[in-house]
């Protein structure tokens, strides 16, 4: 079974778009998540990422990210509620502990933890969509002029990590089929065999790269790939999201404060930006159709 976060080529605009355009498109929604603390905008931003993921056909990746973000978000809410001793609305009057004082849980602390959890959930979902829908080879090719050796290293890691996982699966299966009379194989023995096999494969890969001329350094110039014809809608969507977010921030119309009491601004600007984000997420796919 293919893992949820594995890239699989799909027939949709995001998979065929260039790495830079796809990065700008999804990066715009990540930037909105970090720029705003208003829960209305964060919820709309999360909905926009979900729309982009479903349109790109990576619903399994979104489900995996949602499960992971749920556990992490619950931990953040509980941690912030206990660690932050701020807020006027006390829900639970805690005990008095030495050196720490009174551990009270306030509604404002829980609200701030929920905001942090919502922001992290949006970012995790965006990166899940990016991992499953954007071709990693195009991303590495994009980084090659900037860091050629790092791009080669990242390429090898991307290719060899699944092989190491497959080796671990085969070694575990072989250890389980040795029979009931055989001595059990511990994790240390499996790790030693796995590391030994990985080192042997690394030596073979290094020799192959040397034979192909990588020891002499990369070529001075490389053939540039033609720009994808579906890049323009993604660039337009990313720039529009950035422009609208900058205007709302400059107007100061989407403020939010958790302490000492929760203050939430919900005006026309918040409503317009909240409606625009999901529409702009769908726009590149709808324009292509």
Q: What share of the chain is helix, strand, coil (3-state, %, to 5)?
A: 70, 5, 25
pLDDT in tens, 79-89: 998 888 888 88
What is the value of pTM for the model shown? Answer: 0.77
pLDDT in tens, 174-205: 888 877 777 777 888 888 888 898 889 888 88
Is the pLDDT at 1 greater than 50? The verdict is no
Buried/exposed code over 265-284 (b: 16+ C-beta within 10 A; e: otherwise): eeeebbeebbebbbebbbbb
Distances (CA, A) of 87 to 96, 108, 118, 263, 289: 18, 5, 20, 12, 50
């Amino acid at each position: 079974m293919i893992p949820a976060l594995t890239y699989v080529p799909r027939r949709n605009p995001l998979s065929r778009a260039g790495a830079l355009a796809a990065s700008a498109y999804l990066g715009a929604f990540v930037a909105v998540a970090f720029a705003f603390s208003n829960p209305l905008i964060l919820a709309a931003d999360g909905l926009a990422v979900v729309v982009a993921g479903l349109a790109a056909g990576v619903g399994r990746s979104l489900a995996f990210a949602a499960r992971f973000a749920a556990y992490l978000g619950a931990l953040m809410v509980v941690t912030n509620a206990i660690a932050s001793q701020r807020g006027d609305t006390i829900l639970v009057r805690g005990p008095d502990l030495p050196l720490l004082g009174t551990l009270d849980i306030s509604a404002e602390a829980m609200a701030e933890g929920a905001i942090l959890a919502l922001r992290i959930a949006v970012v995790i979902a965006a990166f899940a969509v990016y991992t499953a829908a954007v071709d990693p080879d195009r991303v590495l090719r994009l980084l090659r002029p900037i860091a050629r050796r790092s791009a080669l290293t990242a390429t090898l890691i991307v290719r060899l990590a699944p092989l190491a996982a497959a080796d671990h699966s085969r070694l575990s299966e072989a250890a389980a089929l040795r029979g009931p009379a055989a001595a059990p194989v511990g994790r240390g023995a499996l790790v030693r065999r796995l590391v030994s096999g990985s080192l042997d494969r690394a030596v073979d890969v290094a020799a192959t790269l040397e034979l192909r001329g990588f020891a002499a350094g990369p070529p001075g110039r490389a053939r540039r790939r033609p720009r994808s014809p579906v890049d323009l809608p993604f660039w337009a969507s990313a720039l529009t999201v950035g422009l609208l977010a900058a205007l709302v921030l400059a107007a100061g119309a989407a403020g939010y404060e958790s302490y000492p009491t929760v203050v939430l601004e919900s005006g026309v600007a918040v409503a317009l930006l909240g409606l625009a984000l999901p529409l702009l997420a769908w726009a590149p796919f709808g324009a292509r159709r």
